[in-house]
Structure 1
């Protein structure tokens, strides 16, 4: 029984007695039981309670035919809120060998720009906002604190339940300073015993092994979870064309490009990582839904093949990292009182990253060497270098929600982090070592939200306010006369900024098949540790950097699922967006490769996207989507006069992209209980300029249009806990490029076996 329109209610005992607490007032009492007609009557509650009630339910007799019960997944519930969010379910893909970057690149409005193969640097663009404007989370905690191995692209798909992609406006319960969008990875959280192992082998000598499982004691619910994965790849794929050249004596040492028939091979791009995570605690107890003490550890090594373009070749430059993070997490629904939810996270991370640049020669694309004449080192900044950066971070997050009367829910989120960096290099004089004096950045975020669902949940409204604060202590070198000698002294420089923001999101279901959405936010992004403090290698610190700000607006609608007769259905989703960004933080190159993150002017962006999905009986799905972006430089000079590139499209930024594909899940193939999964997908990118369109000659450099196809098949056996899959990336072997004409891998195949044991 319940009080209609409120969250107050309860159940009766065997004698019909019941008890629950509610404020004094007039209500409508609703009593329901399976097999009986629902009873409704006015009820007055005063301070002393209520008068005795005698309620007799009337038996309801009916002849039931076939009943179909259709519920909403968490992904569907998210997509029906007012936020512009795409939720990618991973159930059918968990046994495939697909990198998360490739998978999310199929999502409308998302462009993933990856410099090379497995483990390489990548950059996400959501509706035109890119780089650090996009914040990554894992189970609601910013992923940037988990080390460079435990990133979205290195996580195996088998560990992930779903991925939520927020474009533009971001809810306050994701406690961070996401400016242009956020991606939240939701990991598997099964409350049962299970063990799963998988192994994948494929092109470029790529190996991926995953082992994860859980044990829960049946009485006290003591739980141990563990997950570990290993990834290795030579990444030795073939490259050719612009920038991939060599000088040969037969040509008088003129530059000669490698061709498709005579390609070069990447020879210093290997990637290897070990990752392990252990959780020990309790689940489903009176005092905690979840309580875990955890330890995350990772180790990686990666070769660095090129600079920002393929014209620079490195043959021995590589990076090594060791990462350790103990942390604690706690979750409890109905804590102390009904409707109160609390989630806590606290962790401390220790990262040690070393860039090894000790080669005494320069390399070309043939792997040939030229003796070094200036003391060694391929980056050639200060000669040979063995720079180690030590980074420590402390992060604390609190998330609270409380269900209020009148179908209102109040939420509060607070996140605080403190990061310090210091450096060491045995090949460089002490006062020239970057970060020789420790530097710090402290950030705070607080969000307050109020949301409600009205009119039988047809209307959803959420309003929120956010507060941002950061404080940095960095250092600059000044030369002073000390005891008659000129000595370099580290002078601390402090920078403190605070800002407020806020917004709202709303959706309304006009018809059963038509949902409209609107969201708006004045957002802020705080500088990251690398942007403010530098990384000690090619990024110099900027003591005076400011937060980045943007006004984000989204408007969208979803039609569907529209019945086309029988089991045929159609869903159409469309949206438009507006972005007005100030003090954008961009990397500015000041030397050969060295540079600094600075605030540069403003940009104005608009765009539209549309997706059409056809499904047949929920086993066959065909989809196509397209996105058009119009993002332009909106900066004027100090006197108000437009600069030379005013209203130009942003350089090196895609503006027209699309995806299309089909997937099918076919049951009982070869044997009852077995399942076959197949997919094929195409990804189109229109050509775009590398530099500002208004500058340069008519022969402007551009990244050409490209259409890349992927396909895969997976089979789950009926009586064996075994799945086999095969994935083929870029099966047409199209020459695909990304940032500054960095060539991506061609055709690549991967075979994967997954073995799973469960105990419900």
Structure 2
């Protein structure tokens, strides 16, 4: 089949290339903001090509077919209005683009950025674009912004810097992949996690659902999150300081320095600190005198987090041999107190903590267009060596929930017999290469290929079986055809993806921590996936999308090799596989818009962490799950400067079969997936008072509301689920405390911005969880109650 497809693909390529494109668009920039004319980026939407202006502000696009084209300029991180040009055969089309002050409210800037971002990507592929740069002045986090996106739910279990689990389009855990500027983010450890990275450090977040763009080349089951850094073509920068409850402090300093017309120096840094000492209910406390256990409310006393991150970049643009070449060096370190085990707060720890650092992470990026901008090359290389450490070196002591230490006969707090001498050190060495090639055949057909090669090596102070470390090599390569038909009304993306993972080594295959069953294995997992995405533009205000894919996800390092502590190795894991269908409709006008998206998933061999005994767990291919989901999103501007928006998500994913002995019986057939929210939504309102108060500066208020419907921590037989429409009404027919109840969260705040000639200062404040509601996340871990953040930002 592959051979026939390749022959058809080649024939189509030859036929299409016979078409001749000879027309030209010539233009010029008029910049009323400042004197900058050179190196301003101009985007041609229909061909997905980019050029830079010369010293006089001029630009040119060649080899175009007659038709209608849309252009826009990007300058200093802002996307300026789109200009439409009609290209007539036998003539040169002229256009002038104006850069001037844009009198948009914050919400209007958000909407415009989303629209432009949709044009930049392959629009047949579904994505929600979250314009973080428009929210950098708000005293909130990237996590907060992403969590308001339709179909997304982030469950944070401990405040700033804590671990979190994300649900996107019905997938969760490792099935959702994270990227930084289109590159799989694992080479940066957890440094750029959504609960850690400040808003000032990035430009936007792209949330992909269903078929993924060819350019990112990951083995997700159908969802991915791409964090896009800021870029600028002139000297600019931002400094901010944020503080809040629980002794929280966040500082950022970012700058882009133009050394000359081709050379730029970039600095991106941030620092996070928080004690995260919020109060928690129902903590078991054993009275040392009477031995009686009561449940108390106390502050978390060993839950602190601190992190530093520094990024330097040296970038050259518009050279004869490179459109862009960038050398970047990252360095980071973080330390996180471990207050309790990851599944409960049954027992506190007082001296256990973890460290993670990568002192020197160099990367190289190279971009170049060839053959009059028809062929583009984007090459990225990175090397990293990361250290992960766990410290549990307290001897013969345990802590109660009042933070008081007591003597005991046990050797360490965690009591895990696999943690030798109370210390664990894992080092991860990684090399990643990503090669993206894009060839524009003509205005209607484009070929793209993307190959990501990742070489991993992990060593551990407990790795006696593999003293030279354990190697894991992965390659993921995509080939895609992007097409347009019927006067650009129908857009198509067709992809073939090949995945392969190879690893070898020795491991203990015994499930008994007191026994050894040493096995020597060499394993290669591979798969081929196919996807087809279509978008049909009904009219300028509405379109429909549809896509199908069968996709694979290779097991991750930790899933295969464990963590040399609680999680033991399993070399028998096989890839997860899912068949997905997505269908959506979008309607948008200037004042209002709405979107509905539905999806169906049939997923086999889901990898799940399974407890084996008191001390150990193992990742296993356990569950087969299928079901469907619906997302609704709407926005409305009833009056100028007042923006209302909201979304709802309902998922109905159910267990079909399992290799888990507890679940593998007819009673749990069609049971809803446990420990996963299935109905949740958000509402937001914001109003800019600038015009009504006749202010010379921006002054905006905002309010956000979040709802999560109750869900169960364990599998509940379908016959015992609540009755009513979609299972949203009534109560369960069995009595269980293993439930996370309905949750309502309200946040409110304001932003004040004062602009000067070339600088601006802003002040914002936000009160989170206004009504101090009890908020729980997975495993019924309680999140912070009412708390506040304030932030001051200076930009130049």
TM-score range, shorter chain: 0.7 to 0.9
Give the equivalent residue in structure 1 for 2:272. Answer: 231
Return closer, same or farther for 1:693/1:756 CA change in 2, 3 Å cut-off.
same
Give the equivalent residue in structure 1 for 2:240. Answer: 198
Give the equivalent residue in structure 1 for 2:334. Answer: 300
Q: Is the 8 A contact 2:358 2:386 kept in 1?
A: yes
* Partner Cα distance (2:552, 2:614) in 1: 32
Give the equivalent residue in structure 1 for 2:149. Answer: 107
Give the equivalent residue in structure 2 for 1:530. Answer: 558
Could you list the per-position Cα deviations for residues 87-143 of structure 1 after superposition, in whole angstroms to 9, with x for gaps in the alignment?
A: 111233111221222221111111111111111100110122100000011110111
Once the 2 structures are TM-superposed, how far is the Cα of residue 666 of structure 1 from its aligned partner? Answer: 4.3
Q: How does 1:5-44 map to 2 (within 5 A)?
A: 7-10=21-24, 40=88
Name the SS of the counterpart of 1:716 in structure 2.
strand
Which of 644, 648, 653 is 1:631 aligned to?
653
Give the equivalent residue in structure 2 for 1:256. Answer: 294
* Partner Cα distance (1:501, 1:510) in 2: 30
Return closer, same or farther for 1:38/1:183 CA change in 2, 3 Å cut-off.
closer
Could you list the per-position Cα deviations for residues 338-394 of structure 1 after superposition, in whole angstroms to 9, with x for gaps in the alignment?
A: 221111110110111110011121222112333231322424324641111111011
Return closer, same or farther for 1:192/1:548 CA change in 2, 3 Å cut-off.
same
Give the equivalent residue in structure 1 for 2:12. Answer: none
Alignment pair present for 1:358 and 2:380: no
Q: Is the 8 A contact 1:474 1:533 kept in 2?
A: no
TM-score by length of 1: 0.85
Which of 472, 478, 483 is 1:447 aligned to?
478
Once the 2 structures are TM-superposed, how far is the Cα of residue 71 of structure 1 from its aligned partner? Answer: 9.7
Q: Is the 8 A contact 1:435 1:536 kept in 2?
A: no
Once the 2 structures are TM-superposed, how far is the Cα of residue 732 of structure 1 from its aligned partner? Answer: 1.2
Once the 2 structures are TM-superposed, how far is the Cα of residue 658 of structure 1 from its aligned partner? Answer: 0.9
Name the SS of the counterpart of 1:634 in structure 2.
strand
Give the equivalent residue in structure 1 for 2:741. Answer: 704
Once the 2 structures are TM-superposed, how far is the Cα of residue 514 of structure 1 from its aligned partner? Answer: 1.9
Give the equivalent residue in structure 1 for 2:791. Answer: 752
Alignment pair present for 1:674 and 2:688: no
Q: How does 1:129-278 map to 2 (within 5 A)?
A: 129-219=171-261, 221-241=262-282, 244-248=283-287, 252-258=290-296, 263-278=297-312
Q: How does 1:187-586 map to 2 (within 5 A)?
A: 187-219=229-261, 221-241=262-282, 244-248=283-287, 252-258=290-296, 263-307=297-341, 308-360=343-395, 361-382=397-418, 384-405=421-442, 407-424=444-461, 431=464, 436=467, 438-477=469-508, 492-561=520-589, 569-586=591-608
Alignment RMSD: 3.3
* Partner Cα distance (2:151, 2:509) in 1: 47
Q: Is the 8 A contact 2:533 2:547 kept in 1?
A: yes
Give the equivalent residue in structure 2 for 1:16. Answer: none
TM-score by length of 2: 0.81
* Partner Cα distance (1:56, 1:248) in 2: 86
* Partner Cα distance (1:274, 1:165) in 2: 26
Return closer, same or farther for 1:11/1:107 CA change in 2, 3 Å cut-off.
closer
* Partner Cα distance (1:601, 1:272) in 2: 37
Deviates more, 1:89-98 or 1:313-322: 89-98
Q: Is the 8 A contact 1:401 1:411 kept in 2?
A: yes
Q: Is the 8 A contact 1:327 1:345 kept in 2?
A: no
Return closer, same or farther for 1:456/1:319 CA change in 2, 3 Å cut-off.
same
* Partner Cα distance (1:138, 1:745) in 2: 28
Name the SS of the counterpart of 1:544 in structure 2.
coil
Once the 2 structures are TM-superposed, how far is the Cα of residue 330 of structure 1 from its aligned partner? Answer: 3.0
* Partner Cα distance (1:732, 1:700) in 2: 24
Name the SS of the counterpart of 1:102 in structure 2.
helix
The size of the alignment, in residue pairs, is 695
The structure with more radius of gyration: 1
Name the SS of the counterpart of 2:532 in structure 1.
strand
Name the SS of the counterpart of 1:586 in structure 2.
strand
* Partner Cα distance (1:92, 1:664) in 2: 15
* Partner Cα distance (1:57, 1:730) in 2: 55
Once the 2 structures are TM-superposed, how far is the Cα of residue 12 of structure 1 from its aligned partner? Answer: 8.5
Which of 674, 680, 683 is 1:657 aligned to?
680
* Partner Cα distance (1:393, 1:306) in 2: 30
* Partner Cα distance (2:219, 2:383) in 1: 20
Q: Is the 8 A contact 2:434 2:450 kept in 1?
A: yes
Once the 2 structures are TM-superposed, how far is the Cα of residue 532 of structure 1 from its aligned partner? Answer: 1.1
Once the 2 structures are TM-superposed, how far is the Cα of residue 57 of structure 1 from its aligned partner? Answer: 11
Which of 707, 710, 720 is 1:687 aligned to?
710
* Partner Cα distance (2:62, 2:778) in 1: 61
Could you list the per-position Cα deviations for residues 213-241 of structure 1 after superposition, in whole angstroms to 9, with x for gaps in the alignment?
A: 0112333x111111111000000000003
Deviates more, 1:652-661 or 1:663-672: 663-672
* Partner Cα distance (1:145, 1:392) in 2: 9
Name the SS of the counterpart of 2:755 in structure 1.
coil
* Partner Cα distance (1:478, 1:703) in 2: 36
Could you list the per-position Cα deviations for residues 506-563 of structure 1 after superposition, in whole angstroms to 9, with x for gaps in the alignment?
A: 11121232211101111111111111111222111111111111111110101221x6
Q: Is the 8 A contact 1:6 1:406 kept in 2?
A: no
Name the SS of the counterpart of 2:714 in structure 1.
coil
Once the 2 structures are TM-superposed, how far is the Cα of residue 669 of structure 1 from its aligned partner? Answer: 7.9
Q: Is the 8 A contact 1:668 1:674 kept in 2?
A: no
Return closer, same or farther for 1:173/1:499 CA change in 2, 3 Å cut-off.
same
Return closer, same or farther for 1:347/1:601 CA change in 2, 3 Å cut-off.
same
* Partner Cα distance (1:651, 1:351) in 2: 34
Q: Is the 8 A contact 1:80 1:515 kept in 2?
A: no
* Partner Cα distance (1:690, 1:29) in 2: 57
Deviates more, 1:404-413 or 1:343-352: 404-413
Which of 146, 158, 161 is 1:119 aligned to?
161
Name the SS of the counterpart of 1:591 in structure 2.
coil
Q: Is the 8 A contact 2:772 2:786 kept in 1?
A: yes
* Partner Cα distance (1:126, 1:72) in 2: 19
Name the SS of the counterpart of 2:668 in structure 1.
coil
Q: How does 1:583-594 map to 2 (within 5 A)?
A: 583-594=605-616
Q: Is the 8 A contact 1:328 1:345 kept in 2?
A: yes
- Structure 1's unaligned 5+ residue stretches are 14-18, 44-54, 59-67, 480-486, 564-568
Q: Is the 8 A contact 2:740 2:777 kept in 1?
A: yes
Once the 2 structures are TM-superposed, how far is the Cα of residue 331 of structure 1 from its aligned partner? Answer: 4.2
Deviates more, 1:656-665 or 1:449-458: 449-458
Q: How does 1:722-733 map to 2 (within 5 A)?
A: 722-733=761-772
* Partner Cα distance (2:68, 2:239) in 1: 49
Q: Is the 8 A contact 2:168 2:176 kept in 1?
A: yes
Return closer, same or farther for 1:30/1:646 CA change in 2, 3 Å cut-off.
closer
Give the equivalent residue in structure 1 for 2:752. Answer: 715
Give the equivalent residue in structure 1 for 2:47. Answer: none
* Partner Cα distance (2:363, 2:211) in 1: 29
Name the SS of the counterpart of 1:204 in structure 2.
coil
Name the SS of the counterpart of 1:527 in structure 2.
coil
Q: Is the 8 A contact 2:25 2:62 kept in 1?
A: no
Q: Is the 8 A contact 2:349 2:413 kept in 1?
A: no
Return closer, same or farther for 1:74/1:29 CA change in 2, 3 Å cut-off.
closer
* Partner Cα distance (2:114, 2:248) in 1: 38
* Partner Cα distance (2:764, 2:445) in 1: 46
Could you list the per-position Cα deviations for residues 76-97 of structure 1 after superposition, in whole angstroms to 9, with x for gaps in the alignment?
A: 3268823232111123311122
Q: Is the 8 A contact 2:23 2:92 kept in 1?
A: no
Deviates more, 1:407-416 or 1:632-641: 632-641
